C-alpha cells in the first residue's frame, strides 16, 4: 500500500489517458515518466521493448478492469509503480471479459519483483473491491485516488469496541433496534442528498415517475370499483405523493418505494364487502382498522419484531419477488387481452385499436429493454451509452406516445384514466368521521387489523430484504425497525383521511435500485455474461422528486390524458421482466428445460446433484402456484398468513436436503468464487 501512496505523492498517476490498445497505454505511461524525469530518455526504448515482449507472452490484463504490465531491467535504478486510468476501456483479453480501465505499470531493477509482491497483492485486493473501483473511476485528481487507497490501509486494531447493533440483530431492549437504526442512518443523512445530484438520478426520477404513476392510477381505479367509490384514483395519487415524500425524507432506506399493491387492494376490497353486508359504514370502520394496524406496527417496531426476518431466507425472498413479478406481467397481458375481447365483441372499438394497443405496448417494452441494455453495446461513446440506458424507459414512453398521437384522429385509443379535477372520488369530506360508529366496531376492528398488520409487516420487510440484498452492493446500512414504524405512522395518517394504505412496492423498489446502479459486465465460469452492480447512488433526492412529480400530476391532468393506456401496459411488462433478472429461482427454473451438458458452471450446479437441485426448484414453484391460487380465491384475505408459512416450509426442506446442499441453494449471496477474478 505504501508504494501506491508514494506513486500518488510522486505524481506518477495519469488520469483519463486516451489509449485504444495496451501498447499505446504503456507508451503513454513511459513517456510521462520521462517527462517527469523519473526515467532517462535513453532508457525508454529498452523499457518499451521489454514491456511489449512481455505482453506477447500472455496478456497482463488480470480482471476487475485491471492490467499489470511489468519490466525489470538493469537500467532502472529503483522500483516504481505508475498508475493510469484510461479514458475509455478496451478489451485486453482479461479472464472475466471486463474492459480494461486501469493499468498499473511495475518497473524496477532485476531484484525488484520481490519488493513488488506485496504491492501486487494490494493492487489485486483494491481492484476486487467494487466500491474502490467506483471511487477510482470517479476520482478527479491523484489526491482523491490517494484518499481512496489510504482509506483501505490496514490500521492497528484498537481495543475491541462495543458490538454495533445492525440490521436484524436483536437488541433485547424496548426501542433498541429503532434507536440503532436512527443512529446508523443519521451519519449518512446529509450525504444522501449530495449523492442525488447527478444525471443518473434525473433518469431514475423520470423513469420511476411513470413507473409509479401508472400503478397509482390503475390501482386507484380498481379500488374505486371495489369500495363503491369511497376510495379512488385521486386518493391513491394523494397518498402516493404525501407518503412517498415523507418516507423519502424520514425513512432509513429511502430507495424503497411505497405504493399500492395487489394484496392490499384485495384486503381493502374484502373489508368493504364485509362492511356492506353487515350494514357498517365503510370509511369509519376502515379508519379504525387502520388505526389499530398502525398501533400494532409501532409495537412490532419497538420490540424489534423485524428481527424475525432472519428466518426468511433466499428461498422465501425469491418466491415473493417472483410472485410480484408475475403479477405485473399478468396484469399487462390480461389488460391487452381484454382490449381484444372488447374488439371481438364489437364494444365501441375496432380491431385497429386492439392491434395498435398491442404494438404500442410491445414497442414500449422493446425500446425500454433495448436502450436499458445499450450500455453493453460497442456503439457510441460511454457517456452516450450511459445516457440512453438511464433514460431508456422515459424515451420509450415519449416515443410510443408520439406515435399514438400521430394516429389519434384515425385510431382513438384508451387514454390514461386520470381524474378531471382535484377532489375526493365521491365528493365526501377529506377527514373521515371515524367516531360515527358503534363502540363495539371500534374494538372488533382489532381482528382484521391483526391480519392487515401481518400483511404490511411481511410486505414491507420482505421488500426491504430484497432491496438490502448483498447482491445490490449497498453501503449505508439497514433500517428495518425505523421503516416499519414509519409505515405504521403513515397507515394511521392515511386512515384518518380515507386514503389507501401504502406499503413497500417490491417491483418499483427494485427498479429504483437498478435505475441508480452503476454496473459492469462480468463473465461467469460458463462464459455467460451478466451485469454486476458495482455501486448504487443511494440518495433521498430521487424519492422526493418522484413523489412530488406524482403530486404535481394532479395539476397536469389534461397533459397526462394524452398518454395511451397501452403504453403503460408495456411499462408494466418491462418492470415485471426486469425484476425477474437476478432472481436465482428463474435461473434454476430454466434448467428444467436445459440440456444437462450445457448447464452453467454456477456454484449450486457444481455443488448440488441434479435431482436435489430440481427438487428444490420444484418446491419453490409449488409454493408460488399455491400463493397465486390463494391470491385469486375467496381465501385471499388470509394471503399474508400463507406467505408467513413459507418459513416453516423452508425448515421442512432443510430436513430433506443435506446441509451443504441447502447452503449452496439458499445462500444469502453468491460465493466470491462466482465472480471471475484475476487469478
Q: Helix, strand, or coil here: 499?
A: coil
Catalytic residue chosen out of the listed positions 64, 70, 512, 532? 70
Of the CA atoms within 13 Å of residue 448, those in its CB half-sphere come to 23
Cell 453495446 found at: 377
Alpha helices in 260-391 (DSSP H): 262-278, 282-302, 314-344, 351-372, 382-390
Tell the burial category of 115 from Cβ atoms under 10 Å away from its Cβ (0-12, 13-18, 19+).
Answer: middle
C-alpha cell read off for 136: 477510482
Cell of 171: 437488541
Task: Report which of 210, 261, 198, 253 is spatially closest to residue 546, judged by C-alpha positions.
Answer: 210
Three-class secondary structure assignment of 209-232? HHHHHHHHHHHHHHHHHHCCCCCC
Q: Is 655 left (phi over 0), alpha (psi -120 to 50) or beta?
A: alpha
Question: Cα(495)–Cα(503) distance, rounded to whole angstroms?
Answer: 13
Cβ-contact 299, 563 below 8 angstroms:
no
Residue 443 grid coordinates: 374494538
The answer to whether 650 touches 316, Cβ cutoff 8 Å, is yes
Positive/negative CA dihedral, 49, 54, 56, 60:
negative
Helical spans, DSSP H, in 227-281:
233-250, 262-278
Residue 678: count of CB within 10 angstroms of its CB: 18
> Would you call 88 a catalytic residue per the annotation?
no
CA distances from 600 to 135, 588, 591, 606 (A): 32, 10, 9, 9
Task: For residue 432, give the C-alpha cell.
Answer: 373521515
Q: Is 258 helix (H, G, I), strand (E, B) or coil?
A: strand
Under 8 Å between Cβ of 391 and 205: no
Identify the CA nearest to 567 among candidates 440, 394, 372: 394
Provide the grid cell at 606.
457444481
CA angle 193, 512, 558 (to 5 degrees): 95
Question: Beta strands 13-17 and 66-67: pairing type?
Answer: unpaired
Give the integer Cα–Cα distance in Å for 4 and 10. 10
Neighbouring C-alpha atoms within 13 Å toward the C-beta of 153: 14
Q: 530 - beta bridge partners?
A: 522
Pairing of strands 61-63, 70-72: unpaired
Look-up of cell digits 386512515: 495
CA dist., res. 300 & res. 335, Å (int): 38
Task: Decide: residue 26, CB within 10 A, 0-12 exposed, 13-18 middle, 19+ buried.
Answer: buried
Helix/strand/coil (H/E/C) assignment for every residue in 69-109: CEEECCCCCCCEEEEEEEEEEECCCCCCCCCEEEEEEEEEC
> Which residues are known to be catalytic?
70
Amino acid at each position: 500500500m505504501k508504494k501506491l501512496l508514494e506513486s500518488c505523492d510522486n505524481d506518477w498517476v495519469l488520469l483519463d489517458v486516451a489509449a485504444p490498445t495496451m501498447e499505446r497505454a504503456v507508451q503513454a505511461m513511459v513517456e510521462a515518466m520521462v517527462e517527469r524525469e523519473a526515467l532517462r530518455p535513453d532508457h525508454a526504448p529498452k523499457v518499451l521493448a521489454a514491456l511489449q515482449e512481455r505482453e506477447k507472452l500472455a496478456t497482463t490484463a488480470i480482471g476487475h478492469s485491471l492490467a499489470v504490465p511489468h519490466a525489470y531491467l538493469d537500467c532502472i535504478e529503483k522500483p516504481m509503480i505508475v498508475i493510469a486510468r484510461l479514458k475509455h476501456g478496451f478489451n485486453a483479453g482479461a479472464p472475466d471479459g471486463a474492459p480494461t480501465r486501469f493499468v498499473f505499470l511495475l518497473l524496477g531493477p532485476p531484484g525488484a519483483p520481490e519488493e513488488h509482491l506485496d504491492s501486487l497483492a494490494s493492487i489485486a485486493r483494491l481492484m476486487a473491491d467494487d466500491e474502490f473501483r467506483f471511487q477510482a473511476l470517479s476520482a478527479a485528481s491523484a489526491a482523491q485516488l490517494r484518499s481512496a487507497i489510504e482509506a483501505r490501509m490496514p490500521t492497528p486494531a484498537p481495543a475491541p469496541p462495543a458490538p454495533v447493533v445492525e440490521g436484524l440483530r436483536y437488541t433485547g431492549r424496548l426501542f433498541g433496534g429503532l434507536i440503532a437504526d436512527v443512529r446508523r442512518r443519521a451519519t449518512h443523512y446529509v450525504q444522501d442528498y449530495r449523492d442525488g445530484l447527478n444525471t443518473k438520478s434525473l433518469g431514475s426520477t423520470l423513469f420511476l415517475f411513470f413507473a409509479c404513476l401508472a400503478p397509482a392510477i390503475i390501482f386507484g381505479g380498481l379500488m374505486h370499483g371495489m369500495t363503491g367509490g369511497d376510495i379512488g384514483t385521486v386518493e391513491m395519487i394523494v397518498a402516493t405523493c404525501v407518503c412517498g415524500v415523507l418516507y423519502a425524507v424520514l425513512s432509513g432506506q429511502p430507495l424503497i418505494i411505497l405504493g399500492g399493491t395487489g394484496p392490499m387492494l384485495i384486503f381493502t376490497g374484502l373489508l368493504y364487502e364485509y362492511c356492506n353486508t353487515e350494514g357498517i359504514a365503510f370509511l369509519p370502520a376502515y379508519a379504525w382498522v387502520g388505526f389499530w394496524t398502525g398501533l400494532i406496527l409501532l409495537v412490532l417496531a419497538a420490540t424489534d419484531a423485524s428481527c424475525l426476518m432472519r428466518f426468511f431466507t433466499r428461498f422465501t425472498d425469491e418466491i415473493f419477488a417472483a410472485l410480484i413479478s408475475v403479477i405485473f406481467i399478468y396484469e399487462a397481458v390480461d389488460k391487452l387481452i381484454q382490449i381484444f375481447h372488447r374488439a371481438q365483441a364489437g364494444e365501441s372499438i375496432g380491431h385497429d385499436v386492439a392491434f395498435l394497443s398491442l404494438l404500442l405496448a410491445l414497442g414500449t417494452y422493446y425500446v425500454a429493454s433495448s436502450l436499458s441494455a445499450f450500455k453493453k453495446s460497442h456503439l457510441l461513446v460511454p457517456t452516450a451509452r450511459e445516457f440512453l440506458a438511464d433514460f431508456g424507459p422515459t424515451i420509450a414512453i415519449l416515443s410510443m406516445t408520439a406515435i399514438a398521437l400521430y394516429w389519434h384522429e384515425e385510431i382513438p385509443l384508451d387514454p390514461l384514466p386520470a381524474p378531471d379535477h382535484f377532489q375526493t372520488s365521491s365528493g365526501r369530506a377529506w377527514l373521515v368521521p371515524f367516531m360515527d360508529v358503534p363502540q363495539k366496531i371500534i374494538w372488533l376492528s382489532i381482528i382484521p387489523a391483526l391480519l392487515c398488520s401481518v400483511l404490511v409487516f411481511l410486505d414491507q420487510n420482505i421488500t426491504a430484504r430484497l432491496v438490502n440484498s448483498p447482491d445490490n452492493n449497498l453501503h449505508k446500512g439497514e433500517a428495518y425497525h425505523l421503516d416499519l414504524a414509519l409505515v405504521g405512522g403513515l397507515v394511521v395518517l392515511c386512515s384518518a383521511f380515507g386514503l389507501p394504505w401504502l406499503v413497500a412496492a417490491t417491483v418499483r423498489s427494485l427498479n429504483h435500485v437498478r435505475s441508480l446502479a452503476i454496473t459492469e459486465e462480468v463473465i461467469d465460469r460458463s462464459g455467460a455474461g451478466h451485469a454486476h452492480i458495482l455501486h448504487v447512488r443511494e440518495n433521498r433526492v430521487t424519492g422526493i422528486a418522484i413523489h412530488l412529480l406524482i403530486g404535481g400530476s394532479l395539476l397536469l391532468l389534461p397533459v397526462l390524458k394524452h398518454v395511451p393506456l397501452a403504453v403503460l401496459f408495456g411499462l408494466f411488462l418491462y418492470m415485471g421482466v426486469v425484476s425477474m433478472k437476478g432472481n436465482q429461482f428463474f435461473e434454476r427454473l430454466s434448467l428444467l428445460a436445459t440440456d444437462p451438458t450445457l448447464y452453467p458452471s454456477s456454484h449450486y450446479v457444481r455443488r448440488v446433484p441434479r435431482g436435489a437441485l430440481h427438487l428444490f426448484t420444484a418446491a419453490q414453484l409449488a409454493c408460488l402456484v399455491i400463493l397465486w391460487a390463494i391470491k385469486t380465491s375467496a381465501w385471499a384475505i388470509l394471503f399474508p398468513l400463507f406467505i408467513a408459512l413459507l418459513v416453516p416450509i423452508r425448515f421442512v426442506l432443510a430436513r430433506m436436503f443435506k446441509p451443504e446442499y441447502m447452503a449452496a441453494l439458499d445462500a444469502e449471496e453468491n460465493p466470491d468464487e462466482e465472480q471471475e477474478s484475476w487469478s
